[in-house]
Amino acid sequence: MLQFLSLEKDISLYDLADIDPEFEKSLRWILTNPVEGLEQQFTYEVEFFESRFTEELVSSGHETLVTEANKKMFVQKVCEARVRDEVSEELAAFIRGFSLIIPTEFLRLFSVEELQALIGGVRTINVQDMQKFASYTGFDKDCEQMKWFWEILSGFSQEELGAFWFFTSGSSLRGGEK
């Protein structure tokens, strides 16, 4: 999602996958399969406070069918609507706040990956760093149970460490991986 913020690139299906992986799969299906007969209009549904609304992606979108010739445009318009337009106010507020820390003209100096690490942190969990900075309550860092704990944790895959992190903190480190 940060790609279009930092480098002024187009929004893509990869950005949508960060927000709604199932919807991204549906759009990818449209791109890779014949769409004749689907009767899909240039519209999409938005959920707002448990109500659903139909939004047009182009002028007279309810009258325009998705065809083989325009399905790429349809997918692009849906991605733009979901990733950018639905959250435009929130996105503008984020950019205003972020620009107080890093002026927007400097954002072009960063790659997408660097910006994601800057904003969201590094997604690789380092057990040695966790152990180094851990604080203990009711246990000593050198007690047998803590040694077992760190030994077990050291054997975890990144996916398992992510699940452990979520369990202990309630915060996910996922998002944006391709």
Q: How many domains does the chain have?
A: 2
Would 174 be classed as within a structural domain? Answer: no
Between 91 and 55, name the one with better pLDDT: 55
CA distance 123 to 119: 11
**What is the average pLDDT across 123-128?**
85
**Is the same domain home to 98 and 30?**
yes
Would 176 be classed as within a structural domain? Answer: no
Q: How many CB atoms lie within 10 A of CB 54?
A: 11
**Is the same domain home to 137 and 94?**
no
**Is the same domain home to 143 and 101?**
no
Would 91 be classed as within a structural domain? Answer: yes
pLDDT for the residue 72: 93
**Is the same domain home to 144 and 93?**
no
Domain that holds residue 19: 2-109
Would 118 be classed as within a structural domain? Answer: no
Rounded-to-5 percentages of helix, strand, coil across the chain: 60, 10, 35
CA distance 8 to 94: 16
**Is the same domain home to 103 and 132?**
no
pLDDT for the residue 9: 59
Max mean pLDDT range (6-15, 54-63, 104-113)? 54-63
pLDDT digits (tens, 9 = 90+) for 154-165: 999 988 888 888
Would 63 be classed as within a structural domain? Answer: yes
pLDDT for the residue 176: 40
